A and B are shown apart, each in its own frame.
Chain A
Amino acid sequence: MIERIGYLWPEIVLFIGACLTMVIGLSPNADMRKQTGLIAGVSLLIAAALGLATPAAPTWAILPGIMPFAKPLIALVGLLLLLVNIGSVDRDEEAAIAAGKPFNPLRVTGAEFYAFFLFSLMGAMLCATAGDLIWLFLALELTSLPTYVMVVLSGRGKKGFDRSQEAGVKYFFLGALGAGIFLYGFALLYGGTGTTQFVEIAQHFAAHGMNPIATVGLVLALVGVSFKIAAVPMHFYTADVYQGSSGGVAAFLAFVPKTAGMISILLLVSTVGWAAGQGSLPPAIESLLWALAVLTMTVGNVLALLQSSLKRMLAYSSIAHSGYMLVGVIAGPGDGSFVSSGIAAVLFYLLCYGVMSTGVFAVLASLERKSGGEAVEVESLDDIKGLCRSHPWLGWSMVICMLSLLGFPPILGFFGKVPLFTSALGAGHVVLVVILALNSAIAAFYYLRVVAGVMIDPESDSGVRDTGVPARVIAAVISGVLVLGLSVFGNVFMGSGEKAAEVRRFVGQSDEHDTDSVPLDEHSEAAEDEHHAVSH
């Protein structure tokens, strides 16, 4: 166990950062309190650097290459999310303290907010480090639990706080239900295989094939984890929760739990699919994922069409994007090259989605509207009409990110989607690809509506103005620039995605299951107990 510390340095740094913010954020000195964001940022930067240096291919990991990709990805997008979230809590309270109100540690929430922010990111990173079911469960819950609080905190002291509270409570209870489902699944998986270690589960499947208990366990686990990625039928909470959160927290919810969930799904599926030497998933799991993917993208896109609230629309769009990524999971690792590996496609798509969705939410978070004398977040498309003219930086960032979400060539989202297409085609899932393409076409409708709205001049002034937090505008512009930059230089990350998507295959040895699993090399066939064969 102790040797795993070597893989945990990014998480440790985030943990230290979280503890520091929790203490410093309660300092009576306002200048000290202001340092919390900085501490969080610095710890994320260090975590990203350490994540890049994570040693690869430990024997206990079922996806040996995923850590050096996932951890810096989480930390760097986390940095972007931090910029969006700076100043989203305690603004009124801090202003009141500056105006002479006595400092009351019970009334400032910055400490908790940033600490939870870091804890959640740390949880997502721990998912990538997971080698067994218990670890994965704890990591997933560590990702989710802070977000329940963040949803509520983000609405504190603002108009519509009741909606935030409602969203937080809903999110918590439904999240608990989801956690219950996948925990039950994990338990059944243990029951069916006798081990909690992924590698051993995979060896068990390779040796003895699937058994009904493990199959049901896996189904429950996958569906339960789908809550994190907001896949149908676990998607119900999404729109309400996003709408109830501030723009920054909604951006956080769109990326962090989704990343943790996607990584968990990849780990879980690895135990039965290509890892067991078949090259493709068992039919039951494949059809489950197939149904999840098709339902998720279709329901997400169809419901997004009907929304008038931008945040709800983005919530459904986030559901749809989860569906797209599930296509990559179904496609599997292919021959290991970037264009044929669905796993690499999913990992690269997480990067694309993180940048472009954060950009969109950052634009929304940067704007506010006067309503009855109080500043409220922008809500409808009418509010942001003519943004390119009134706030060019925000407007164009919005246009770029929206086009990218749509998958408009030659912008990042397109390059993210292409490997999903190619990997699924390579694996022979033509129908799935057609459905994916049709869904992209439906999605064009609501994305382009926003693009057009932002670009045309409004008839009247919508009264929307900047929130006065430069960090959010900076985050929006950085996202826009990143989307453009990665469109050109994304191939660097494609390469690292390809490395991260490396899988282990375990060759089955029992005769009744060996018929269609071809031994990958002679050596591993000869070695009865040591049947690790790392494929490329």
Chain B
Amino acid sequence: MTTLTHIIPSLVASVTGSLVQDGHADAAGEVGHAAEQVSHAVSQGITPPVDGPLWIALIPLLPILGVVLTTLCAIFKVKSKLPAFLTVGCLAASFGLTVAMYQHLSGMGPGSTVVVTAFEWFDLSWGAGEGQRFQADFAFYVDTLTCLWMLFVTGLGTLIALYASEYMAQDVGKGYSRFFMAFNLFVFSMACLVMGENLLVLFLGWEGVGLCSYLLIGYFYKKPAAVEAAKKAFIVNRIGDLGLLLGIFLTFVKFGTVSYPELWPLVEPYIQMVKSGHAGDVPLTVSLIPILLMVGAFGKSAQLPLYVWLPDAMEGPTPVSALIHAATMVTAGVYLIARMYPMFLVSEYALPIVGWIGALTALLAATIGMAQFDIKRIMAYSTVSQLGYMFCGLAVLSSTGAAFHVFTHAFFKATLFLCCGAVMHGFAGQLDLRKLSGVAFMKGWGIVGIAMLVGCLNLAGFPFTAGFFSKDMILAESFVTAGPGYGAIGWILLITAGLTAYYTFRVFFRVFVGPKAFEPGDELHEDHGDDGHGDESRPEAGATKFHPHAPGLAVNLVLGILALASIVAAGAYFVDKEDHGWVGRLVHESSANYTGSAAFLEHGDGAHRLEAGATGDGEAGAVEHGEAGAAGHGAAAAHGSFLGMDPHKAMYYVSSVVGLIGIGAAFYLHYLGRTTAARSKADDLLPALGPIPRWAQHKWYVDEFYNAVIVVPLRVLAHVFHAIDRLLVDGVVNLAGVLPRFVGSRIRPWQNGVMHGYAVGMVGGLALLIAAVVLLSM
């Protein structure tokens, strides 16, 4: 209670404070400096692409080969793990080629882009005029941003396929081939999405990943919840896709092309317009494009108000949750905005909307995550929340931070999901954190425990982990960049960071440490037949006879690699230091390189590098002081400030402290305060918060709200329309159907089979035609 009463007023205060501060900054109108940066970025950031080697096209083609091979496995009813190994092989080869592609690109010098045209896809024209020709090649656009994304898509795809080979073992001979078919198809679609040279190829991939997501969420199609979740994901994504599609249409209508390299120069004049303070001169049709694209991004990346599908998507097999719904597909929205970054600078409102939606999503999802008991769902909400961070990163002109967070998040979230999956697998589908305890200390679960710890530390932003650096970059920039309410965004993110640390370690302390205890779930493999541990899988055996089966080699290997990768990912921050890390270099050399260029968002001095030096204690005190009375700060520096300090310097310590506070709270409540496996001190505190925990547990009733506001009215409307359809439209349609039939029945007698009748018809028709022509020529 006390915490919340303190946080809320300070939040309000900081929002108002930062708004005042922004107003001041806008009034100052210091655009000159930023304008220089824009022109610099525009002229430097985009290099005309050169044709690339055709083998690059193999990167998406190899997964297609996987699709074909696994389909053949399904046709020939292969009853072994062959589909999994074929998949791992294809994806590993694809990963190898991706590395080669990165090497190739690196060898071409900074800022190079490569276009590989596989074939001409669409070429339509309906006149010779401007904008009357639609062209889209099936081509791939490779720059460093593409490489970054493809590296972790194919890399994680390979690892998770390996994990899935063991995880899905009980379905060998049943859905195994189908699973890996969809898995391959997903990687292909994701590759199209990321590597596409134009928005149409991106859209193909976009819909492809949506389809695969649908297929894989509904993988257990006999389970009603899975089917429901699949449908929900599909339908909610359609809403977003409508936005994306409209955005693509509008892009074509306005610019006459959907190809990236052709778009950039066409967009530039509008950016210049915004930069020179004439944002009002940008036509609405242009400034609407980023808003529409954004809707697509929000759908795919599960942001407000379209996030509701992602938590339900956890009905799919865990490897799918890890790959699609945590590491790769859900970052497609981030990719879209990063790729189309120039387009997002033509509207003053686009990036601030992205930022606010991201921040609110991050906070909302974190609060829901705190109150859930299903560990996979907690991870799902944390994904939604972290995606919010990434969008904020984009909005605060830190596309580097966003991309870096995507990168680190891909690894540690995959680790976390796969750990949860291992637990779920081993404990017969048990995911309730009240019914599991001390898992890490059980025999054979050590690697899972360690990997989980690594993942949790990253997610919680524990100092010197990869997640810490990437999150910091976004946090600091949100205080540096001036924009509508950006200071408040920073505060929201900071609070969310604390909440994140709390709910993450709540899972860890409840499930992985503490007294050893468990209750198995209800999936006792009775419907899976004998899969090697049939003796323990009698449904009536109950908890007493159930033995959890520890993960095997493939799972442990993959978890080990991923945990290691999560740790090593931090190293990317220290390479290429002048560009804010390796990821920063990749982002700077791509179309997302507009950092510090939006004139309406002042970005300050651009001194991004954090300098270590000052001690942490004093800063931490300042934070606590600040939370108590943030309204007091008003010393607006030339660029954004964090309580009067340079955010770059301060954020290291502040976010460390916030993270540690969250972890500490979890430690106190759920480790020290643990009474039984099912109860901890936190449960005693809950009544003090009134109905809030219950509301949070019920996800703030958002689903119910959508149901009442959207689904029910739509149902009613559907019934109304149905009635209209029956009475009115069917009548018209029947009439329209009757007309051709009537005409037909009138002319049918002529088709009477009598030959001279036909001859008369032919000659008569000819006579009429000649008469008509003669009349017309006269």
Residue of B748, B759, B762, B763 contacting most chain A CB atoms (<10 Å): B762
Residue from the list A170, A306, A339 in contact with B741, Cβ < 8 A? A306
What's the minimum C-beta distance from A101 to chain B, rounded to whole angstroms? 36
Give the docked Cα–Cα distance between A227 and B758 (Å).
12
Q: Mark B120-145, 1 if CB is under 8 A from A, else 0.
A: 10011111100000000000000000
Residue from the list A215, A233, A337 in contact with B777, Cβ < 8 A? A215
Asked if B777 and A283 make an inter-chain contact with CB atoms under 8 angstroms apart, the answer reads yes
Q: Is B751 in contact with chain A by the CB < 8 A criterion?
A: yes
What's the minimum C-beta distance from A84 to chain B, rounded to whole angstroms? 26
Asked if B776 and A283 make an inter-chain contact with CB atoms under 8 angstroms apart, the answer reads yes
Asked if B125 and A340 make an inter-chain contact with CB atoms under 8 angstroms apart, the answer reads yes
Q: Is A418 in contact with chain B by the CB < 8 A criterion?
A: yes
What residue of chain A has the Cβ atom nearest to residue B765's Cβ? A233
Asked if A177 and B776 make an inter-chain contact with CB atoms under 8 angstroms apart, the answer reads no
Given contacts A288-B772, A302-B740, A338-B123, contact A177 B762 (CB under 8 A): yes
Q: Mark B603-641, 1 if CB is under 8 A from A, else 0.
A: 000000000000000000000000000000000000000
Asked if A418 and B124 make an inter-chain contact with CB atoms under 8 angstroms apart, the answer reads yes
Asked if A301 and B765 make an inter-chain contact with CB atoms under 8 angstroms apart, the answer reads no
Interface residue count for B (Cβ, 8 Å)?
37
Asked if A306 and B745 make an inter-chain contact with CB atoms under 8 angstroms apart, the answer reads yes
What's the minimum C-beta distance from A99 to chain B, rounded to whole angstroms? 38
Give the docked Cα–Cα distance between A445 and B737 (Å).
9
Q: Which chain B residues numbered 736 to 771 have a C-beta less than 8 Å away from chain A?
A: 737, 740-741, 743-745, 747-748, 750-751, 753, 755, 757-759, 761-766, 768-770
Asked if B773 and A284 make an inter-chain contact with CB atoms under 8 angstroms apart, the answer reads yes
Q: Is B119 in contact with chain A by the CB < 8 A criterion?
A: yes
Q: Is A376 in contact with chain B by the CB < 8 A criterion?
A: no
Given contacts A219-B769, A283-B777, contact A442 B740 (CB under 8 A): yes
Asked if B747 and A302 make an inter-chain contact with CB atoms under 8 angstroms apart, the answer reads yes
Asked if B741 and A232 make an inter-chain contact with CB atoms under 8 angstroms apart, the answer reads no
What's the minimum C-beta distance from A179 to chain B, rounded to whole angstroms? 12
Residue of A292, A299, A306, A445 contacting most chain B CB atoms (<10 Å): A306
Give the docked Cα–Cα distance between A408 and B88 (Å).
36
Q: Is A155 in contact with chain B by the CB < 8 A criterion?
A: no
Asked if B748 and A303 make an inter-chain contact with CB atoms under 8 angstroms apart, the answer reads yes
**Across the interface, which residues of B come within 8 angstroms of A283, CB to CB?**
776-777
Asked if B740 and A305 make an inter-chain contact with CB atoms under 8 angstroms apart, the answer reads yes
What's the minimum C-beta distance from A316 to chain B, rounded to whole angstroms? 9
Q: Mark A336-362, 1 if CB is under 8 A from B, else 0.
A: 011110000000000000000000000
What's the minimum C-beta distance from A406 to chain B, rounded to whole angstroms? 16
Asked if B124 and A234 make an inter-chain contact with CB atoms under 8 angstroms apart, the answer reads no
Given contacts A306-B748, A422-B126, A445-B737, contact A177 B773 (CB under 8 A): no
Asked if B126 and A219 make an inter-chain contact with CB atoms under 8 angstroms apart, the answer reads no
Asked if A174 and B770 make an inter-chain contact with CB atoms under 8 angstroms apart, the answer reads no
Give the docked Cα–Cα distance between A237 and B762 (Å).
10
What's the minimum C-beta distance from B126 to chain A, rounded to whole angstroms? 5
What's the minimum C-beta distance from A129 to chain B, rounded to whole angstroms? 28
Give the docked Cα–Cα distance between A14 and B761 (Å).
36
Given contacts A234-B762, A237-B758, contact A223 B769 (CB under 8 A): yes
Asked if B126 and A299 make an inter-chain contact with CB atoms under 8 angstroms apart, the answer reads no
Q: Is A216 in contact with chain B by the CB < 8 A criterion?
A: yes
Q: Is A45 in contact with chain B by the CB < 8 A criterion?
A: no
Asked if B124 and A422 make an inter-chain contact with CB atoms under 8 angstroms apart, the answer reads yes
Give the docked Cα–Cα distance between A421 and B773 (Å).
25
Give the docked Cα–Cα distance between A283 and B763 (Å).
23
What's the minimum C-beta distance from A327 to chain B, rounded to whole angstroms? 14
Give the docked Cα–Cα distance between A291 and B772 (Å).
10
Given contacts A236-B757, A303-B744, 6 further A-B contacts (CB under 8 A): A220-B770, A233-B769, A283-B776, A285-B773, A305-B740, A426-B128
| CB pairs A–B below 8 angstroms (20 shown) | A169-B755, A170-B758, A173-B755, A177-B759, A212-B777, A233-B761, A233-B762, A233-B764, A236-B750, A236-B757, A236-B762, A284-B777, A287-B773, A292-B769, A305-B741, A306-B744, A306-B748, A425-B126, A426-B125, A491-B120
> What 5 A-B pairs are tightest by C-beta distance, nearest first?
A233-B765, A236-B758, A302-B744, A284-B777, A302-B740
